[in-house]
Chains A and B, each alone.
Chain A
Amino acid sequence: MGVTCVTQVPVLEGKSVQQTVELLSKKLELLGAEKHGAFGVDCETYHTAAAISSQGQTGKLMYVMHNSEYPLSCFALFENGPCLIADANFDTLMVKLKGFFQNAKANKIESRGTRYQYCDFLVKVGTVTMGPSARGISVEVEYCPCVIANDCWNLLMEFMQSFMGSHTPGIPSVFGTKHDSIYSPADTMVQYMELFNKIRKQQQVPVAGIR
Chain B
Amino acid sequence: MPRAAAAGLHFPACPAPPRCCRPRREGAVRAKMAEGVLSPGVNLEAFSQAIAAIQALRSSVTRVFDCLKDGMRNKETLEGREKGFVAAFQESLHSVSRDLGELERLSNLVGKPSENHPLHNSGLLSLDPVQDKTPLYSQLLQAYKWSNKLQYHAGLASGLLNQQSLKRSANQMGVSAKRRPKAQPTTLVLPPQYVDDVINRIDRMFPEMSIQLSRPNGTSAMLLVTLGKVLKVIVVMRSLFIDRTIVKGYNENVYTDDGKLDIWSKSNYQVFQKVTDHATTALLHYQLPQMPDVVVRSFMTWLRSYIKLFQAPCQRCGKFLQDGLPPTWRDFRTLEAFHDTCRQ
Which residues of A line the B interface, CB within 8 A?
1-2, 32, 118-121, 143-148, 151-152, 154-155, 158-159, 162, 180, 182
Contacts and interface: CB of A to CB of B under 8 A. Distances in A.
B229 A158 contact: no
Contacts of B310: 143, 145-146, 148, 151-152, 155
A78 to B, nearest CB: 27
A144 B250 CA distance: 11
A148 B270 contact: no
Contacts of A148: 229-230, 310
Interface of B: 229-230, 249-251, 269-272, 310-311, 313, 319-321, 323-326
Contacts of B321: 155, 158-159, 162
Contacts of A121: 324
Contacts of A143: 310
A152 B269 CA distance: 15
Nearest to B319: A158
B207 to A, nearest CB: 14
Contacts, number: 57
Nearest to B269: A145
A143 B251 CA distance: 12
B249 A145 contact: yes
B324 A119 contact: yes
Given A119-B324, A154-B320, A158-B319, A147 B270 contact: no
A9 to B, nearest CB: 20
Contact of A147 (B229, B271, B320): B229
A113 to B, nearest CB: 21
A145 B271 contact: yes
Contacts of B230: 146, 148, 151
Nearest to A33: B324
Name the residue among A118, A119, A146, A152 with the largest chain B CB count within 10 angstroms. Answer: A146
Contact of A180 (B229, B249, B325): B229
Contacts of A182: 229, 251
B269 A120 contact: yes
A1 to B, nearest CB: 6
Given A145-B249, A146-B310, A158-B319, A120 B271 contact: yes
B197 to A, nearest CB: 31
B326 A1 contact: no
Nearest to A146: B310
Contacts of A1: 251
Nearest to B325: A119
B326 A147 contact: no
